[in-house]
């Protein structure tokens, strides 16, 4: 059986990280508490140095190496930045291998922390293979993103902070990719509630993308299961397989794992921007998606770990647009009218009377299933939510228009 991180190792990691981490205290969200009917607390780790929790595990491992020893890692983003900063803070060289399609802002940020960045391979697995080969040939220390007890201990310091900042929490929601953060938080929480203590410890629940259910698959099988495909916008947790070590921690310390689909992740990002004034990357927002979906057990206080905020601005615009669509904030209608002067004006006038902002209009006479003397108008408007869609269609029908929603 794989070794488990000890309570002492997590406490020692906390001491090493003193003065390194930025304080990001847990706070209560009045808005989310009203929306969900239970106390919701936010751990805003996206405000941490490098924009995610990764500096915790990276620094805890790297600071224990002999002075001057080079470190090497492979990552498409957050782990790269955590290793780069940890190396800079400990005065050593860092070489980071990233796939050729890595986000330019993440490449530049990693270089900005002083690391040498090398672009290798099409996918992350290619970069990992090259990084391991480089470490073997150069003597550099390969820093894994999650499969290491020092890394897990570092991530566990987040769990200790949550216990201090939200002592009444009933549930702690933790994003899951490779499982390092989940393992660390689970171990930290368990360490504060040893056997024989009557107080009920908080349930640690993992949340992963439905398109990359690595931990769910491993827990069901009782062993790490390499996924045949991974498909999710949450690239920070798009991992093909957990490790024996992180699985062992999940089996020992974690209550359950919830999966969220792409629409739930999109809506969570939008919820973060609109209600929390927070820019959170898809991987960091999955816990918020689980909470908003109503699938988190219990009625007591819940802590949502927003684990990262490193998202390309151009991608963020697409994600917000996708989130608006998923939340029913756009409605595209097909309206068939007579091919005569004033027909389009009549439709738009009725939309205006309903207080709807028109985003796009298309006018078609050919190639559509319409009768002679008819035209099809396809119009997209802004709406409040999906319930509003039915209200708009009913109002247009009452005004004499034949309107149907375009999926």
**CATH number for the domain harbouring residue 278:** 3.40.50.1100
Range of the domain at 132: 55-142
Q: Are 153 and 180 in contact (CB under 8 A)?
A: no
171/280 same-domain check:
yes
Query: Could you give the residue numbers annotated as active site?
Result: 54, 307
Distances (CA, A) of 271 to 105, 111, 264, 298: 24, 32, 10, 21
Q: Which of 270, 184, 281 is nearest to 234 (CA)?
A: 281
- pLDDT tens digits, residue range 17-45? 999 999 999 999 999 999 999 999 999 99
User: Is residue 1 included in any domain, yes or no?
Assistant: no
Please say which residue of 293, 325, 357 terminates a domain: 325
Collapsing DSSP states into helix, strand and coil, what is residue 146? coil
Distances (CA, A) of 260 to 8, 211, 312, 323: 34, 9, 22, 14
Strands ordered across the beta sheet of 330-338: 358-364, 374-382, 330-338, 402-405
Q: Give the tens place of pLDDT for each residue, 222-260.
A: 999 999 999 999 988 998 899 999 999 999 999 999 999
Residue ending a domain, among 268, 293, 325, is 325
User: For position 291, what pLDDT does the model report?
Assistant: 98
Q: How many residues does the chain have?
A: 407
Instruction: Report which of residues 126 and 221 the model is more confident about.
Output: 221
Let me know whether 266 and 365 are in one domain. Answer: no
**Least confident stretch, 63-77, 195-209, 378-392:** 195-209
Distances (CA, A) of 275 to 79, 173, 233, 279: 28, 19, 21, 11
123 pLDDT more than 80: no
Cα–Cα distance, 17 to 3 (Å, whole number) = 23
265 shares a domain with 397: no
> Taking Cα atoms as reference points, which of 327, 401, 322 lies closest to residue 379?
401
Total structural domains in the chain? 3
- Whole-model pTM: value is 0.86
H/E element, 376 = strand 374-382
The answer to whether residues 281 and 334 belong to one domain is no
């Amino acid at each position: 059986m794989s070794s488990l991180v000890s309570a002492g190792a997590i406490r020692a990691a906390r001491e090493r990280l003193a003065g390194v981490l930025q304080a990001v205290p847990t706070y209560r969200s009045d808005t989310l508490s009203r929306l969900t009917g239970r106390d919701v607390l936010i751990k805003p780790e996206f405000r941490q140095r490098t924009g995610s929790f990764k500096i915790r595990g990276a620094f805890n491992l790297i600071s224990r190496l002999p002075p001057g020893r080079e470190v090497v890692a492979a990552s498409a983003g957050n782990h790269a930045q955590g290793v780069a900063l940890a190396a800079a803070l400990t005065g050593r060289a860092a070489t980071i291998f990233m796939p050729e399609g890595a986000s330019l802002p993440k490449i530049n940020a990693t270089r900005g922390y002083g690391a040498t960045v090398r672009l290798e391979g099409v996918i992350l697995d290619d970069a990992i293979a090259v990084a391991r080969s480089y470490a073997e040939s150069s003597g550099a220390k390969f820093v894994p993103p999650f499969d290491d007890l020092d890394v897990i201990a570092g991530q566990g310091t987040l769990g200790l902070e949550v216990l201090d900042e939200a002592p009444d929490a009933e549930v702690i929601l933790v994003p899951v990719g490779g499982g390092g953060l989940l393992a660390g938080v689970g171990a930290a929480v368990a360490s504060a509630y040893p056997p024989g203590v009557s107080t009920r410890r908080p349930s640690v629940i993992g949340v992963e993308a439905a398109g990359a259910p690595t931990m769910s698959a491993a827990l069901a099988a009782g062993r790490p299961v390499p996924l045949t495909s991974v498909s999710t916008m949450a690239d920070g947790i798009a991992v093909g397989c957990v490790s024996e070590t992180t699985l062992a921690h999940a089996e020992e310390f974690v209550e359950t794992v919830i999966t969220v689909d792409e629409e739930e992740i999109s809506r969570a990002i939008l919820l973060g921007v609109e209600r929390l004034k927070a820019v959170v990357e898809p991987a960091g927002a999955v816990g918020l998606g689980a909470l908003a979906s109503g699938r988190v057990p219990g009625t007591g206080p819940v802590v949502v770990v927003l684990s990262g905020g490193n998202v390309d601005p151009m991608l963020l615009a697409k994600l917000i647009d996708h989130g608006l669509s998923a939340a029913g904030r756009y409605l595209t209608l097909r309206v068939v009218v007579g091919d005569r002067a004033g027909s389009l004006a009549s439709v738009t006038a009725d939309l205006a009377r309903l207080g709807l902002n028109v985003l796009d209009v298309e006018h078609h006479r050919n190639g559509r299933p319409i009768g002679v003397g008819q035209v099809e108008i396809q119009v997209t408007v802004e709406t409040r939510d999906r319930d509003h869609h039915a209200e708009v269609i009913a109002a247009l029908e009452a005004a004499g228009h034949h309107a149907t929603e375009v999926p």
